[in-house]
């Protein structure tokens, strides 16, 4: 990832990076995976949408997490997900996860 306030500079840099990768490393950038976006839209990385001052869990990651806690309601799974949630603005999501875990854990028994 390369950040700049100057879009034109980024566009020129993109060509330079592509040329360096092709000529020196024999690599090519995937044409559908190179984006020039505003920082306001966030950066999608490792299941999180990262903004300059906070991060939110991606919707698909949240759905997957809730589905897996429903399928496997064990304390280790809950602890793992709570550890993941410490990296963003997730207070309400953490409460939802704890409630779902309690519900599914007690329903299974």
Q: 3-33 as b/e, with b when 16 or more CB fall inside 10 Å? A: eeeeeeeeeeeeeeeeeeeeeeeeeeeeeee
| Residue range 12-43, pLDDT digits in tens | 898 899 999 999 999 998 888 888 887 788 88
Q: Which percentage of the chain shows pLDDT scores above 70?
A: 96
| Residue range 66-83, pLDDT digits in tens | 888 888 778 888 888 888
> What integer is the mean pLDDT of 46-73?
86
CB 74 within 8 A of CB 104: no
CB 39 within 8 A of CB 70: no
Query: Rounded to the nearest 5°, which phi and psi values hold at 50?
Result: -100, 130
**Domain boundaries, given as residue ranges, for the chain:** 57-109
């Amino acid at each position: 990832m390369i950040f700049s306030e100057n879009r034109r500079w980024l566009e020129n840099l993109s060509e330079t990076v592509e040329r360096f990768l092709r000529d020196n490393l024999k690599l090519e950038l995937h044409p559908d995976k190179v984006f020039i976006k505003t920082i306001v839209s966030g950066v999608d990385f490792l299941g999180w949408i990262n903004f300059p001052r906070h991060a939110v869990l991606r919707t698909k990651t949240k759905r997957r997490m809730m589905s897996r806690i429903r399928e496997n309601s064990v304390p280790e799974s809950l602890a793992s997900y709570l550890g993941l949630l410490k990296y963003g603005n997730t207070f309400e999501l953490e409460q939802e996860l704890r409630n779902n875990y309690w519900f599914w854990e007690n329903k299974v028994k």
